[in-house]
Each structure stands twice: as C-alpha cells, then as structure tokens.
A and B are shown apart, each in its own frame.
Chain A
Amino acid sequence: MSAIRSELSVEIPDALLDEASDLPPGVGPYKLAWRRLRRNRVALAFGGLFLLIVVLCLLAPVYSSDIAHQSPNFENITGTVKVGGKTETIVSSSDIPIGPTWQLSHYFLGADQNGRDVAVRVLYGGRNSLEIGAVATLITMVIAILLGLVSGYFRGVLDGIISRALDVIWAYPAVLLGIALGTILAFGGIGPLHGTTLMVPAVVIGVVYIPYVAKPIRGQVLQLREREFVEAARQQGLSHWQIMWGEILPNLSSTIVVFIPLILANAILLEAALSYLGAGVQPPNPSWGTMISEGINLIPASFSLTLVPGLMLVLAVLSVNVFGDGLRDALDPRAKVRIAR
C-alpha cells in the first residue's frame, strides 16, 4: 500500500486514497460523492445557510402579517414610531428615513424613503429574487439539456444550426442581452409574459444562460455517443430517443447537478443587476436588486437601505457558490466546469 501510495501521491490526494481503502468494493459513484460531500463541512455549512435564507424568505408573509403587521408596499410617510420610549418620525422632514430600530415588531431594519418596512421588504424581495432565480435555472437547464443532447447526438446540419444560434446568444454580454430582452418584455410583452409579472425577468435570465450550459453538454454528448454502450444500444435496435434518454442522459447527470447551483447563483446575480438597472423586477414590487437601486440614491444619509438587501444578496449567492463548489469536488474531483458572468 505504502509503495503504491508514494508513487501515486502526486496525482491522487491522500484523502481520496484513504477513502478508497476503507470502502467495500462496489460502492456507487453517488454514495461515494455523498461521503465526500459529508466530509466537506464548509460546503455543508453554506448549504445550510442557503436553506435558512430560503426558509426565512418563504416565511415573509408570516413575519409581515403576524409580527410586523405591515404589508411590503404599505407606505407610511407621515407616521411615527416609538423607539425606547421616544417617539420618532418614520421619515424625517428632510426626507431621511429612520434607521434600524432592532425591535422585531416595528421597523426592525428601518424604513425606506416611502416609509415602508425594510425588514418586510427584504424578505418579500428575497422571495421574488429566489423565485426568479429558481425558475430561470429550471428554464436554462431544461432547454440547454434538450439542445445539447439533440445537437451532440444528431450532429450534422441540425447541430450546425443549434450551435450557431447558441453562438449568437453567447456573443451578447449577459447583462446587455438581459436588458434588451427585459426592456422589450416589460414594455409590451408576448402572450402571458408582459408588464410587471415576475416571469418576465425569469424567462429573460433563463434564455441568457442557455449557451453556457448547452455548449459543454453538447461536447460531452459528442464523446458519449462514440462509446461502446451506445453502440450496443444501437445494435439492439433502440430508437434515437431511447438512446438519448436512457443511455446518454444518465451519464450527463453529474454535469447537470454541478451546473444547477452555478446557474442558480448567476441567475440571482443577473436578476439583481437587471432590477438595479430598471429592466428586471418592476417597482413597487420588491427584489434585492430594486431595493439596492432605491437605496443607493440615499447614500450617505441612509446606508442601511443599500447594505441590508446587498448583504442578503451576497450571502445567498455566496452560499450557493460554496455549496456548489463542494458538490463539484464531491461528484468529480477533476471536473472542469466554467461559466461566464
């Protein structure tokens, strides 16, 4: 063992060798991956943090109706609030909103320039941001997997058309394409996609990221289709769909699993960017991006208006990224997956 180990130690980390030595033969790749992931405490902790953020944001209506007694769009410009026995105006006469009161029942994180409760809005905004991120990721993954499978499997003219179409999407910087599509859809709309619905940014972001997933999947399918087991399936008379669905797709699963957190993180970031520029979630609907863009105008007087949604955004994206990194290491320590911003 030690002789083998000293020879291999350049290539294989010690941790992996140890792992292999105490495993019974025939442990499946997913069980192995799960064991590696379980050992990666940092990744698990950040995965937990993301779950916590999701749960908090899902509980936004509970907080809003039972604790803060305010809806996210309730404006209270002329009102007052009691803080530590003193009565203070929510928005001062010079238009500066109150900062965090640290009382869960009243303006825990302060108010914005329209006298709305920042804590309530940051939870509702998070719900919107996460929802858009999740739907966009779903759209990207489903379409990209389909396109990648079809173009990699059939090759030829079909592949040429799909690949060129992907090249066209890919040539636009993500933010600019998102803006163009977002402005167009928000302005007029196509079918059910119009105006201020959250589905507009979700679809836009979903479309923008398709090439970043479809291209690597296509590359992998191109390699897989030459393998013996695909040849065998073809000899047995399986149809193209059966081969794609039953033979090739399962072999793509670890790539797909690795891409999901990556796209989710980037989708949340792009949503924030689009909303910041006014081409994403439309006010008065809250999202982390719109809240930051409203808050930036009040720097330096009320920095917390920018800081609160910004920190939530960074924490959510960071936790998805770190967890995704751990997942990638666990599934395939040598995998190389890349994404542009």
Chain B
Amino acid sequence: MGRFAIRRLFSMAGVMIAISIVTFLLFAAIPGGNPANRLAGRLANPEEVHLIEVKYGFNKPLYVQYVRTMKNIFTGQAYSYQQGFNVLTEIKAGIPATFSLALGAGIIWLLTSIAVGTLAAIRAGKYTDRLLTVLSMTGVSMPPFFLGAVLIYFVGYKLNLLPIGNFVPISQSPWEWFKHLLMPWFTLSVLFIGFYSRVLRSTILDTINEDYIRTARAKGLSERQVLFRHILRNSLIPIISLWGLDLAQVIGGGAILTETVYNLHGIGQLAATAISNLDIITLMAITLLTAFFVVLLSAVTDIVYALLDPRIRLS
C-alpha cells in the first residue's frame, strides 16, 4: 500500500511539473511579440520598452522567466500587469463565493442524482425511466449561461422571487447568502445531475446482475435492504470519485459560466474578466492552480480507492 501511494504521488508530481511548463509555454508563447511592447503602450519609444523589459525580466532566457513566474505565483508576488492587483490576493478574494457555490451545488447535484439515478434504474424500461432519461438528456444539453439567463428572466424579473445575482457573504447575512445562491446552485447542478444520474443508472443495472445480489435476495433480505446495503453501496463508488474530481474543477474556477452569468465575483469570474483584459498572468495563475487542484484530488481519490479495494493496488 505504501509503495502504491508513493508511486502515485511521484507520478502526480511529474504531471504537475509538466502542467506548469505547458501552462507557462502556452501563455509565454502568446504571439504578438514581446509583452513589454504591450505594457509600454502604443506611444512608447524603444528605451521605455527596454526599461520595462529589464524590469519584468522579459529579456531573460525562457527557463529563467519560467522559474521566476512560478516563484512569483506561488509566493504571492505575481501582479497583474493590466489591472495592477496582486493575483493571489485577488484569487483569495474569490474563494468565499466560489466555495459557497461549489459546495452547495455539489451537495445538491450528488443527492439529486443519486435519487434520480436509483429511481430510473429500479423502474428501468418503464414510463418513469423514460421520462427521467429525457430530463437527464435535457440537463446535459443545457449550457449553464443559457439556463441562468432563462432563470434570471423568469424567476428574477417576471416573478420577482429571487435576487438576480451577486454574492452576499454568509457572515453578513446567512439568509441573503442562501437566497442569492439558490439560482446559481440550481443552474450549476442541472448539468451534473443529468450526467451523474445516467452513469448511476447504468452502474446499478450492471450491479443488479451480480451474484452477491442474488445471494442477498436468496438469504431473504427485503428489497429495500438489498437496494441500500448491497446495490447502492457498490454502485456509488464511481459516482463519488467523479464527484470529487468535478468538485475540484468547480472550486478551481471551473464554474466560470455560472459565476459570470450571476455575477458572483468568484475565481471563475476573475478568469472571465482576465480574458477580456488579456490579463495573461491572472489567467495563467488560475489555470495552473485549478489544474494542480484536479491532479491532487485525483491522486487522493486513487489512493483512497486503493485503500478500499485491494484489487487496484495489486494490479
């Protein structure tokens, strides 16, 4: 077990280094030439451009710039050239909104999809199953920004039931926090519910045919006991591991569309603003941290898996 964990952590470190290099090259290689030209503005003379070049180190070799950039990002010394703020501070400021959105939506989509997927599986082929299938399909076909716009129009403007966006910290007013996040939670969850419930349905249908389920029935357990203790417990494993990874993406700013449409000022929206300002360093930092987060959580999931299931660590 220890060997498996160490091997997995080493490969994680390798992927992380590769990611940091790829991310840096992607952004450093942004065509349009020397970033100093862009910073200096249109009317700058060559000396001014050169001064900026020296100040930010754009004239150094790429690997020196790479080390510098990584150091700056991870020690909180990276400043946005365009918008002037400290990138890490700005990302930290986005954490409460993004975290509230991710955690609430994560709980909603996990519980709902377990209910929907189980119902569809035990009614497989029947009318309920078909209806749920169509609904899940619609869910996975629904882009969050469009669903958000529709909700904002009908629930926000027409019915005037809920506020149309913005984030209120929970410390300020828990009730307002809840009200402001209700639509974003729903919007973000729909896509995942559609996807997860389909996966769960097919895993349950596979599990039902296993021998140990037959044994459980044969020894006289009630259908409810078979479902909860034997079928669900085994079918939920892939769902939970998917959930961990998706949550990592959402926390890392992957909910960029939902955050933008509801104007939540989280990490995702920070990335969206960075695009329109061509704010490379901010975009790079967010992309990098998110990818790291995903790689880290996927390594953790694998190790936890291996703890639970000896077949994996021996293979």
Contacts and interface: CB of A to CB of B under 8 A. Distances in A.
Interface of A: 10-11, 13, 42, 164-165, 167-168, 171-173, 175-177, 179-181, 183-184, 187-190, 194, 265, 269, 272-273, 276-279, 292-293, 295-296, 299-300, 303, 306-307, 310, 313-314, 317-318, 321-322, 325, 334, 336, 338, 340-341
Given A172-B19, A172-B294, A341-B191, 8 more contacts: A171-B19, A179-B256, A277-B272, A279-B275, A296-B261, A307-B150, A310-B149, A321-B137
A283 to B, nearest CB: 12
B82 to A, nearest CB: 13
Nearest to A269: B143
Contacts of B278: 183, 187
B126 to A, nearest CB: 12
Interface stretch (B25-33, B115-123, B173-181): B25-33
B252 A168 contact: no
A339 B130 CA distance: 21
Nearest to B249: A173
Contact of A296 (B31, B137, B149, B295): B149
Interface stretch (B58-66, B222-230, B285-293): B285-293
A10 B249 CA distance: 39
Contact of B138 (A179, A188, A318): A318
A188 B254 contact: no
Contacts of B132: none
Contact of B146 (A188, A278, A310, A322): A310
Contacts of B149: 292, 295-296, 299, 306, 310
B51 interface: no
A68 B137 CA distance: 34
B27 A184 contact: yes
Interface in B35-77: none
A189 B31 CA distance: 6
Top 5 A-B residue pairs of the complex, sorted by shortest distance between their CB atoms: A188-B31, A173-B254, A318-B141, A310-B146, A317-B141
Contacts of A278: 275-276
Nearest to A335: B202
B171 to A, nearest CB: 28
A242 B134 CA distance: 43
A244 B86 CA distance: 52
A241 to B, nearest CB: 29
A175 B256 contact: yes
Contact of A183 (B130, B275, B294): B275
Contact of A168 (B18, B195, B202, B257): B18
A91 B22 CA distance: 47
Given A168-B22, A188-B32, A179 B275 contact: yes
28 contacts: A164-B18, A165-B18, A168-B15, A168-B18, A171-B15, A171-B295, A172-B294, A173-B290, A175-B256, A176-B254, A179-B283, A184-B26, A187-B30, A187-B32, A188-B30, A188-B32, A190-B31, A277-B256, A296-B145, A296-B149, A300-B158, A310-B146, A313-B146, A322-B134, A325-B133, A338-B199, A340-B246, A341-B140
Contact of B125 (A13, A187, A265, A338): A13
A179 B254 CA distance: 11
Interface residues of B, number: 60
Contacts of A183: 30, 275, 278, 283
Interface string B163-189: 000000000000000000000000000
Interface in B194-237: 195, 199, 202, 206, 208-209
A299 B26 contact: no
B113 interface: no
A277 B295 CA distance: 25
A296 B147 CA distance: 11
A107 to B, nearest CB: 21
A187 B274 CA distance: 14
Contacts of A296: 145, 149, 261
Nearest to B21: A168
B27 A180 contact: yes
Contacts of B29: 184
Interface in B239-273: 246, 249, 252-254, 256-257, 260-261, 271-272
B257 A273 contact: yes
User: Which of B158, B249, B294, B298 gathers most chain A CB within 10 Å?
Assistant: B249
B157 A187 contact: no
A172 B290 contact: yes
A187 B256 contact: no
B130 to A, nearest CB: 8
B275 A171 contact: no
Contacts of B298: 171
A122 to B, nearest CB: 14
A181 B26 contact: yes
Contacts of B137: 318, 321-322, 325
A307 B275 CA distance: 25
B287 A180 contact: yes
Contacts of B23: 180
A176 B153 CA distance: 27
B306 interface: no
Contacts of B146: 272, 292, 306, 310, 313-314
Nearest to B157: A300
Contacts of A187: 30-32, 278
Contact of B14 (A164, A303, A307, A318): A164
